[in-house]
Amino acid sequence: MESNYRTRRGELDLISRHADTLVIVEVKLRRGTAYGDPLEAVTPRKQHAIRLMTEEYLSQRDPDFQALRFDVVGILLRRGRPEITHIEDAF
């Protein structure tokens, strides 16, 4: 539906739909593990910010949906090859 939805608090990476579920997807990319696994970057503080940005999105767009889900996609590049991990309903 949308990508890179910007608010004053930050940005929602992807806003998608799966059947009657609105899916907010946080995408984290790392080119190595020097700063940890990409999924580790989605801390409780980041999750809180994503929820606040989602509330703003919902009040502005008023999409029709039955359920809401937050997914996280971690992409780790190793020698130029992506290792992708998708966690549905991550928080």
Residue ranges of domains in the chain: 2-87
59-68 long-range CB contacts below 8 Å, 24 or more apart?
Answer: 63/1, 63/22, 65/17, 65/20, 65/21, 65/22, 66/20, 66/21, 67/20, 67/21, 67/22, 68/21, 68/22, 68/24
Question: Residue 58 has what pLDDT?
Answer: 97
At residue 86, does pLDDT exceed 90? yes
**What's the topology of domain 2-87?**
Trna Endonuclease; Chain: A, domain 1 (3.40.1350)
pTM: predicted TM-score of the whole model, two decimal places: 0.92
Rounded to the nearest integer, the mean pLDDT of the chain is 96
| Mean pLDDT lowest among 22-26, 29-33, 46-50, 56-60 | 29-33
Q: Average pLDDT for residues 62-83, to the nearest whole number?
A: 95
SS3 36: coil
